[in-house]
Homo-oligomer: A and B are copies of this chain.
């Protein structure tokens, strides 16, 4: 493999570039919730259901480094920090909106296929057929 001397990632397409920024389980959700309202850390954590401190902080830091979110520390005690989208982040949130709408429009169908997935992942894979 020698070394990858291509400094620029050279994306195959726009979508490829976008995915480098928001791929992952939490980032799209974080950006989306921040587009609804700037949020203090704790609120954001409650909004993004199921996320842990570790993941939320980690993803927020990456988004901050990537110029998507801005972190403001009020340096008060008890601590108060809030996160807002940068202009770049807001434009990204806009691009995310159709995905939200798609999910809403097709939620029933999505729910169905996911339920089926969980079924056969719950099956022992050798479900002994009942005597025939």
Contact = CB atoms under 8 A, between A and B. Distances in A.
A102 B113 CA distance: 29
B65 A100 contact: no
A131 interface: no
Contacts of A49: 12
Contacts of A67: 109, 113
Interface of A is mostly: helix
Interface stretch (A52-60, A72-80, A87-95): A87-95
Interface string A95-132: 11111111111110111011111000000000000000
Given A67-B109, A116-B65, A101 B14 contact: yes
A25 B17 contact: no
Interface of A: 7-9, 11-21, 23-25, 28-29, 32, 49, 65-67, 88, 91-92, 94-107, 109-111, 113-117
A19 B115 CA distance: 15
A92 B103 CA distance: 9
B114 A18 contact: no
B106 A102 contact: no
A86 to B, nearest CB: 11
B17 A103 contact: yes
Contact of A9 (B24, B92, B98, B115): B115
